[in-house]
Structure 1
Amino acid sequence: MKKVFLIIIVIIVAVLSVFFIINTNRNTEENTAQNNIQNIFTTYTIENSEIGDYIEITGTVEADERNVLSEVSGKIIDLYVEKGQKVSEGDLLVKFEDLEYRIAYLNDLRNYELAINDSSRIKEIKELQLELSKRNLENTELKSPVNGTISEVYIGEDDFVPTNQKIISIVDTNSLRIESVVDEIDLSKVQVGMEALVEFDQLNVSIPAKITLINPVAVNSGGLTTIPIELEFSEDANKYGVIPGITGNVKLIILNAENEIVIPTNALNQDANGNYFVFLKTENEPKKINIEIGDKTDDKAIVKSGLNFGQTLIIYPDEEELQRLENKYNGSNMPFIPGQGASRNSPGGGNQ
């Protein structure tokens, strides 16, 4: 009797186990199908953005460096700047001992004044000598040729410096620019004067800019062909703390969309007459909306009428993706796409 009871218990446990496994597999299949349904389409919410479409590259801030050379020889008696100091154009940098140059100037001035009765040629020579001695005297004081930052000081007080020696280097902060490269496949999309936005995450700032140079010669490196470009800032980048050497994220604007409605081109559909329409997400079935588009790129399009900011679009898979799904499911058990038939151009939903 005990044997029979044990056998019955074993049979019951076995039946329950089989039922549990079958039910678990069914739930897994249902969840997988549901996930597939959710992955079949994506959504896009229309937001207000000044940039419709852009080419994204990385650029480096560069600036010209000006070297200040000694115009005369002599002893340095005063050094007014140090490395890292900011200077303005015309600021005094260095003072040479000028006694000999003052004497030379006064002598040449006297000789010129006494040459009133000399021949015109002699008088001209003395006038030139006076101009030269005056220039030498003025050059005993070296002034900054630009607004910038002292990047290097090569001399010190009491040093004797010969003519034409490098004294100081200054980074010209008025020459701040962005240098970058674009891929050859994007060459036809860029042009001099094109607007851009340079984002410096490290400074938490974005600065408008424009392309000023597209190099006429491409560069090939590591199998990649690129074209060097330069951009100038449309605002004073110094006030934002931009310095040479830092990098920024550059967006070359190929579709300007200030106060325009912009949607991705993969949300666009066309009917047999070539008219554009999209699918608007609603509480029930997606709604087909006829629209008029303006300028567009490969990825984005400006909508002239038919949509508003804040609306959400449903983006269905293209023909290639649908074919992939059909092959995956062998034409059966195809995940259901709300409001969508066999083609993204023949959906359900009402027309506007």
Structure 2
Amino acid sequence: MEMKNKNKTRWVLLGLMIAGAVVALLLWAFYFNKPKTQNRANDSSIYQLEYTVRRSSVADYLEIVGTVDAPIYQVVSSVSGALKTFDIQVGDRVSKDATIAVLDDIQYRLNYLEAKVDYENALYDSPISLEQKQLQFLIAERNLKNATVRSPVSGIITEVSAREGANISQNGAICTIVEDDALFVQGFLDEVDIQKVRTSQKVLFEFKSFGLTYEGKIARISQIANSESGIVVIPAEFSFNDDPRKKGIIPGL
């Protein structure tokens, strides 16, 4: 009987030891197999990084190459005749409405006087006759006025096409004037960029060889594209906000 009790006690102790070992094993497994997110949350050596996003604007821009240009006017004679006075040279500066050339106007003055007399004498004629004489007088007056050729703009003479004493036909070329006080930049936009631009948008001109920059805007975008060697571009003109001639900017740069 005593032997049985001892054996029973041993089995109970052994069972308790095994149960304790199992519990210890489970606790160990639970502790060391926790999700990493829980370990990191409880670990004081893990730092949280915070990023502050600030709102900012990033400007989109296009870069193109252009050429400084200016309006060009070819001066022609509206009437025919011999050049009586013509004393201009390439490089001369002229003002708007300045006299460039004077044609021999004797015949034009005679025609004017005759037409004036006819018109005055027809004041009591029929309405049709009066209107006819009036139109003839106006034509004679205009031809006499056009015998003096004037500059259409202020600018520089870049080409002389006639000489004093030469006979000029109607619409004959006399000279060419560049309106250099209306400089602009001629450039070309790529077809893929045409949707990004519009007139009046701001532009910045850079003249690297001069070390100069000027502000301006898009003045005109052509409605007709140019195609050459498979490349499609759209002509555009850009105007200056300030006069670039003050710093030596001239057409052709």
TM-score, length basis structure 2: 0.69
Alignment partner of 1:232 out of 209, 227, 239: 239
Instruction: Please give the per-residue CA displacement for 1:79-131, whole angstroms capped at 9, x wherever unaligned.
Output: 13211212121111001111111111111112222223222221211111111
Written as runs of structure 1 = structure 2, the 5 A alignment for 1:195-344 is 195-222=202-229, 224-246=231-253
Instruction: Please give the per-residue CA displacement for 1:245-277, whole angstroms capped at 9, x wherever unaligned.
Output: 11xxxxxxxxxxxxxxxxxxxxxxxxxxxxxxx
Alignment partner of 1:181 out of 188, 196, 200: 188
For the Cα contact (< 8 Å) 1:72–1:136, is it kept in 2?
yes
Residue 119 of structure 1 is matched in structure 2 by 126
Stretches of structure 1 that go unaligned for 5 or more consecutive residues are 1-50, 247-352
For the Cα contact (< 8 Å) 1:93–1:144, is it kept in 2?
yes
Structure index of larger Rg: 2
Q: What letter matches 1:211 in structure 2?
A: I
1:134 CA displacement: 0.8
Q: How many angstroms apart in 1 are the aligned matches of 2:83 and 2:91?
A: 20
> Are 1:55 and 2:62 an aligned pair?
yes
> Are 1:132 and 2:139 an aligned pair?
yes
> Are 1:162 and 2:169 an aligned pair?
yes
**Alpha carbons of 1:205 and 1:128: their partners in 2 closer, same or farther (altered >3 Å)?**
same
**Alpha carbons of 1:105 and 1:211: their partners in 2 closer, same or farther (altered >3 Å)?**
same
Question: Structure 1 vs Structure 2: percent identity of aligned residues?
Answer: 36
**Alpha carbons of 1:130 and 1:179: their partners in 2 closer, same or farther (altered >3 Å)?**
same
1:185 CA displacement: 4.7
Q: How many angstroms apart in 1 are the aligned matches of 2:226 and 2:123?
A: 65
For the Cα contact (< 8 Å) 2:87–2:164, is it kept in 1?
no
1:211 CA displacement: 1.1
| Matched pairs, number | 196
1:53 CA displacement: 6.0
Written as runs of structure 1 = structure 2, the 5 A alignment for 1:45-124 is 54-124=61-131
Residue 17 of structure 1 is matched in structure 2 by none
**Alpha carbons of 1:206 and 1:129: their partners in 2 closer, same or farther (altered >3 Å)?**
same
1:216 CA displacement: 4.2
Stretches of structure 2 that go unaligned for 5 or more consecutive residues are 1-57
Q: How many angstroms apart in 2 are the aligned matches of 1:158 and 1:65?
A: 26
Instruction: Give secondary structure in 1 for the equivalent of 2:63.
Output: strand
Q: How many angstroms apart in 2 are the aligned matches of 1:147 and 1:197?
A: 27
Instruction: Give secondary structure in 2 for the equivalent of 1:127.
Output: helix
For the Cα contact (< 8 Å) 1:80–1:92, is it kept in 2?
no
**Alpha carbons of 1:107 and 1:206: their partners in 2 closer, same or farther (altered >3 Å)?**
same
Residue 29 of structure 2 is matched in structure 1 by none
Q: What letter matches 2:214 in structure 1?
A: I
1:137 CA displacement: 0.6
**Alpha carbons of 1:217 and 1:136: their partners in 2 closer, same or farther (altered >3 Å)?**
closer
Q: How many angstroms apart in 2 are the aligned matches of 1:191 and 1:130?
A: 50
1:56 CA displacement: 2.5
1:200 CA displacement: 2.0
Instruction: Please give the per-residue CA displacement for 1:161-195, whole angstroms capped at 9, x wherever unaligned.
Output: 11111111111224422111234454444332210
Q: What letter matches 1:192 in structure 2?
A: T
**Alpha carbons of 1:208 and 1:100: their partners in 2 closer, same or farther (altered >3 Å)?**
same
Normalized per residue, the structure richer in helix is: 2
Residue 153 of structure 1 is matched in structure 2 by 160
Normalized per residue, the structure richer in strand is: 1
1:138 CA displacement: 0.5
Q: What letter matches 2:249 in structure 1?
A: V
Instruction: Please give the per-residue CA displacement for 1:8-60, whole angstroms capped at 9, x wherever unaligned.
Output: xxxxxxxxxxxxxxxxxxxxxxxxxxxxxxxxxxxxxxxxxxx9664322111
RMSD (Å) for aligned C-alpha atoms: 2.3
